[in-house]
């Protein structure tokens, strides 16, 4: 067949409307959000109390599920908190305390999201810090101050000692416990964690080749 005859009959190799639609994956929306968590950690009785906290870190951070509802994405995950500390013992051995499988949930607004759409999410740790009571040795080690670095607290402690002098024998145990509490190591501390969670929702759309150019961005 000559070229002019092929042009008249139509080239069967040319892609056009007769090819039919194709499926294109498009991003409906993407957004990130911070999650702030305050976690209270208690050293188990089988472990010694804390003289000094060496380091606190977050590990094994995972996203367990991503659920899409109307105009919103629900992201669920977990991580592990681990603290390394010097024990309040004469030889000052190093110990660790952990919280495994600490679970978190975060909802992220994504207009246009609908049930049945595909979604994915990621998470990173942006910030980690710990806090201890002012009376503890761990506080003194963290901030590099002496035992009386908190003047207000030292004054309160002195007044309590005066009160203990006036107690009868039945109250001696309570006074001794209080003084021990204010002069020695502790078994509790708080950890602050900031997560950055990013979620993305996607959907499949039909595009006719030859009749329109596949859009690169999702429409409302």
Backbone phi, then psi, for 7, in 5-degree steps? -65, -35
| Mean pLDDT of all residues in 110-133 | 95
pLDDT tens string 18-67: 566 788 888 899 999 999 999 999 999 999 999 999 999 999 999 999 99
pLDDT at 208: 75
Encode 114-129: b = buried (16+ Cβ within 10 Å), e = exposed: eeebebebebeeeeee
Strand partners for 193: 37, 128
pLDDT at 206: 75
Which helix (DSSP H) or strand (DSSP E) does residue 161 occupy? Answer: helix 151-165
Q: What percent of the chain is modeled with pLDDT above 90? A: 56
pLDDT tens string 127-140: 999 999 988 989 99
**Position of tokens 């139509």?**
10
pLDDT at 148: 54
pLDDT tens string 137-158: 899 989 887 655 554 443 333 3
Chain center to CA of 35: 6
Task: Provide the token pair at 186.
Answer: 């502790």
pLDDT at 164: 41
Nearest one of 6, 33, 142, 26 to 83, comparing CA atoms: 142
């Amino acid at each position: 067949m000559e070229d002019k005859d092929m042009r008249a009959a139509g080239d069967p190799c040319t892609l056009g409307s007769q090819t039919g639609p194709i499926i294109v994956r498009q991003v409906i929306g993407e957004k990130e959000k911070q999650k702030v968590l305050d976690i209270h950690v208690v050293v188990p009785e089988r472990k010694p109390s804390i003289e000094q906290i060496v380091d606190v870190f977050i590990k094994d951070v995972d996203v367990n599920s991503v659920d899409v509802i109307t105009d919103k994405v629900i992201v669920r995950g977990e991580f592990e908190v681990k603290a390394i500390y010097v024990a309040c013992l004469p030889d000052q051995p190093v110990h660790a305390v952990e919280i495994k499988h600490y679970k978190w949930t975060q909802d992220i607004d994504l207009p246009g999201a609908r049930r049945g759409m595909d979604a994915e999410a990621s998470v990173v740790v942006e910030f980690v810090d710990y806090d201890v009571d002012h009376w503890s040795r761990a506080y003194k080690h963290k901030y590099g101050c002496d035992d009386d670095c908190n003047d207000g607290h030292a004054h309160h402690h002195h007044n309590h000692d005066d009160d203990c002098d006036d107690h009868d024998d039945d109250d001696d145990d309570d006074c001794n416990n209080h003084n021990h509490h204010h002069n020695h190591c502790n078994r509790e501390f708080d950890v602050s964690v900031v997560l950055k969670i990013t979620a993305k929702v996607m959907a499949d759309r039909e595009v006719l080749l030859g009749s329109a150019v596949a859009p690169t961005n999702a429409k409302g």
